[in-house]
Chains A and B, each alone.
Chain A
Amino acid sequence: MSNTEIEIIVDDPTAPEADSPVVTSIRIVDVTVSLLLLVLAATLGFDNWRTGIAWDSTGPQSGYFPFYLSVILAGASLYGLVAAFLSRKEARETFVTRAQLRRVMQVFVPTLLFCLAVQFLGLYVASFGLIAAFMRLVGRIALWKSLLTAFLFTAIMFLTFDVAFDVIMPKGPLERALGR
């Protein structure tokens, strides 16, 4: 058995430090989310009330079912708001530390930029950019490896979806120039 054994070690040099300062507690986020949900419930509830929540000759109107759901959502959020506000346990719990937030932003910001790029440059160019840049800048992987992986992955995706399965993705100037 020993001859087939391989050791696998993966290091994480940019791991978030354990003693990083806390950005917010669970309680603050919980209260904020409850407030947002309350606003959402009010907006949706109002819209449904405008659509009609009464009964007519064909049964309940379109707004009837969702209106009462908004009421339930509002009630549960209100309860959640009070519960979160009073909870001492949630006040002590960490939502996110600064180091963690930095790492999350390292993924979130590129993803956001990627979505923007898809809109203007097309999906394939955006994917190539995202993978190459992310591997190089966040993962600190050698440039040639990053470019090669990005190219291969994008090419495989293109062949699988656009060519083999006929699932058409958003295109940009590059694809137009190449006549696809």
Chain B
Amino acid sequence: MEALGLLMHGFAVLLTWKTLTLMMVGLVLGIFVGVLPGLGGPNGVAILLPLTFTMDPTSAIVMLSCIYWGALFGGAITSILFNIPGEAWSVATTFDGYPMAQQGRAAEALTAAFTSSFIGSLAAVLLITFLAPMISSFALKFGPPEFFSVYLLTFCSFVGLGREAKHKTVISMSLGLLLAGIGMDTVSGQLRMTFGSNNLLRGVNFLVAVIGLFGISEILLTMEERLALRGHAAGISLKVVLKVWRDLPKYWVTLLRSSFIGCWLGITPGGAIAASFMGYNLAKRFSKDPESFGKGRIEGVFAPETAAHASGTAALLPMLALGIPGSGTAAILLGGLMVWGLNPGPLLFVEHKDFVWGLIASMYLGNVVGLVLVLTTVPIFASILRVPFAAVAPMIVVSCAIGAYAIQNAMFDIWLMLGFGVVGYVFKKIGIPLAPFTLALVLGNRAEDAFRLSMIGAGGDMKVFWSNGLVGSITTLAIVLLFWPVIDSVFGSVSRLMRPAKAAR
């Protein structure tokens, strides 16, 4: 129950007018970003990050995480009202949400979406509250070999479990790790891969890359599409809200199942998309009336939204406890931590109690305030879509440039951002995933340090990664995951060989 006391302390940190105001500002900005075409969670957080550079870390992270919650809520508005999923994980929400809106039940669908987002996040935050301190205190015993094996596990699970072509994930990841290595080598102080350029001396900044990869490239991609849209924005009356909430207990199985799926997949990297589809499909399979899904069934909104948000929130668990982000947005928040001079990892829970518990408390508070805010202001935000893209696009470009410049006060970074914008555009179109790149770039230096420190400690003996039960099992698991597709298909063919044999007997 120590966690509860600390959580209360976290709330005490939060309950100042300054923090609460920042929270509201963050939520409004977040919903704004979530509703606008061509922007979403990670882009929004990346672009707005520079705003927080002069704040103290706690205010900064509260505002940033609220931008993230806001963006998640905002994404649901466009998917239900206009059939435009802002993010890949809102795709499943459109299956039933949009038909409901067409039948004039938009308010109901929106209430369902917001409420289930809230429930999903809450489930994940509860998990974080009680599990994160335990994991981090366990991880305090980790030495460099253990950390390297955990990093290895993260990278391998991306390759083995990702749905993209394996070699493309490997390309994306090794490129990210390589770019992270540019500049001064942190162990020996030697310069490498700078080719005599003063600008490369600083290295490739993670946030500059993210702003280019997600912000600029997204604008280029959005321009390719037809940007016309048509829909109705309905205000949500209290009557509708209460009606949906009264029916909520009927769907407790769906909500519980989706929360569980979300929390589970959120901890493993890149889970929100998979979680939303899995939540939807399972709800459909276990339903007595699967045919009615896709035609405007409220359960079809509950299931994916709960799962997506549970997983989006649970992605923060490994970030806080181990310093390993579980999603693109978590990676950006992690990049923010480093800008504010905090060292992500298990020590965070010991050295910066105020910060960590303030953040966790802000997850509770931000979700409650966010729920009320979106329920009351949907029509206002929906009308943002009336603003022509030709006005929005240049503003986003300017915001990206401000963000990229502000990080290191370097003009070179604006050019770098533009370069990454083009790279991101091309990579997205030929199917090279960007998430592993982001993760590799943010973890690269620490993964290398952990590797080299363990090598130095062990005198260059690779056996150090199997030197005790803990590190050995993590490393082995990492290698199993790396070759998972191969192992899976071998097992598949073996069992196929077994079956006819049994039948013959």
Interfacial chain A residues near B385, Cβ < 8 Å: 8, 10
Q: How large is the interface on B (under 10, 10 to 19, 20 to 34, 35 or more residues)?
A: 35 or more
- Enumerate A11-69 residues with CB–CB distance to B below 8 Å: 11-12, 15-16, 26, 29-30, 33, 37, 40, 44, 47-48, 51, 55, 58-66, 69
Contact B455 A60 (CB under 8 A): yes
B417's nearest neighbour on chain A, judged by CB, is A115
Select B414's contact among A115, A131, A149, A154, beta carbons within 8 Å: A115
| Structural contact, B397 and A170, CB atoms closer than 8 A | no
Q: Does B488 contact A (CB under 8 A)?
A: no
In this assembly, does B160 line the interface, its C-beta being within 8 Å of a C-beta of chain A? no
Evaluate contact between A131 and B386: CB separation under 8 angstroms.
no
Q: Does A86 contact B (CB under 8 A)?
A: no
In the complex, what residue of chain A is closest to B178 when comparing beta carbons? Answer: A69
With CB as the reference atom, state the residue of chain B lying closest to A30.
B430
Is B234 interfacial (CB-CB < 8 Å)?
A: yes
Tell me if A121 counts as interface (CB < 8 A to partner B): no
Q: Is A153 an interface residue (CB 8 A)?
A: yes
B175 interfacial contact with A, CB 8 Å: yes
- A67 CA to B311 CA in the complex, in Å? 36
Does B415 sit at the interface, judged by CB under 8 A?
Answer: yes
A4 near B234: Cβ-Cβ < 8 Å: yes
| B223–A48 touching, CB < 8 Å | no
Check B434 for interface membership: any CB of A closer than 8 A. no
Q: Is B499 an interface residue when CB atoms closer than 8 A count as contact? A: no
Contact indicator A15/B228 (Cβ below 8 Å): yes
B177 to chain A, nearest CB (A): 5
Q: Give residues of chain B (157-200) contacting chain A, Cβ–Cβ below 8 Å.
A: 165, 167-168, 170-171, 174-175, 177-178, 181, 185, 187-188, 190, 192-193, 195
Is there an interface contact between A69 and B174, defined as CB atoms closer than 8 Å? yes
Residues of B contacting A65 with CB < 8 Å? 181, 448, 451-452
A1 touches B234 (CB 8 A): yes
Surface stretch bound by A, among B116-124, B288-296, B318-326, B405-413? B405-413
- Interface majority SS (helix, strand, loop, mixed), chain B: helix
The residues of B that contact A170 with a CB separation of less than 8 Å are 405, 411
Q: Is the CB–CB distance between B391 and A149 below 8 Å?
A: yes
A167 / chain B contacts, CB cutoff of 8 Å:
50, 53-54, 402, 406
Residues facing A in B197-255 (CB within 8 A) are 216, 219-220, 223-224, 226-235, 237, 240
- Which partner residue on chain B sits nearest A4 by CB separation? B235
Q: Is B486 an interface residue (CB 8 A)?
A: no
B193 CB, min distance to chain A CBs, angstroms: 5
Measured CB to CB, the nearest residue on chain B to A119 is B411
Query: Using a Cβ cutoff of 8 Å, how many contacts connect chains A and B?
Result: 227
B472 within 8 A of A: no
Query: A169–B394 Cα gap in the complex (Å)?
Result: 17
With known contacts A10-B385, A62-B185, A73-B175, A15–B405 Cβ distance under 8 A: no
One digit per residue, 1 when the CB lies within 8 angstroms of any chain A CB and 0 when it does not, for chain B 386-421 equals: 101111011101110110011001010011001001
Contacts of A9 in B (CB 8 A): 229-230
* Contacting residues of chain A (155-170) with chain B, CB-CB under 8 angstroms: 157, 160-161, 165-170
**In contact, B393 and A107 (Cβ under 8 angstroms):** yes
Of B168, B394, B455, the residue contacting A135 (CB under 8 A) is: B394
Q: Is the CB of B193 within 8 A of A44?
A: yes
B167 x A83 contact (CB < 8 A): yes
Task: Find chain B residues with CB under 8 A from A10 CB.
Answer: 227-230, 385-386, 388
**Complex interface: chain B residues within 8 A of A134 (CB):** 390, 393-394
The answer, yes or no, to whether B487 is at the interface (CB within 8 Å) is no
Residue from the list A7, A37, A115 in contact with B418, Cβ < 8 A = A115
Chain B residues whose C-beta falls within 8 Å of the C-beta of A127 in the assembled complex:
394, 398, 401
Please state if A8 and B178 are interface contacts (CB–CB under 8 Å): no
- Nearest A residue to B430, CB-CB: A30
The answer on a CB contact under 8 Å between A1 and B190 is no
Instruction: Indicate if the CB atoms of A1 and B406 lie closer than 8 Å.
Output: no
Of listed B168, B216, B390, residue having the most chain A CB within 10 A: B390
Residue numbers in B under 8 Å from A51 (CB-CB): 190, 192
Query: Is A108 touching B429 in the complex (CB atoms < 8 A)?
Result: no
- Give residues in A with beta carbon < 8 Å to B: 1, 4-12, 15-16, 26, 29-30, 33, 37, 40, 44, 47-48, 51, 55, 58-66, 69-70, 72-73, 76-77, 79-80, 83, 95-96, 100, 103-104, 106-108, 110-112, 114-115, 118-119, 123, 127, 130-131, 134-135, 138-141, 149, 153-154, 157, 160-161, 165-170
**A-B CB proximity, top 3 nearest:** A139-B390, A4-B235, A59-B456
* CB<8 Å pairs between A and B, sample of 5: A59-B460, A95-B430, A114-B394, A139-B390, A168-B409
| Additional 7 contacts, C-beta under 8 A, given A9-B229, A139-B389 | A4-B237, A62-B188, A62-B192, A66-B181, A73-B171, A118-B411, A141-B390
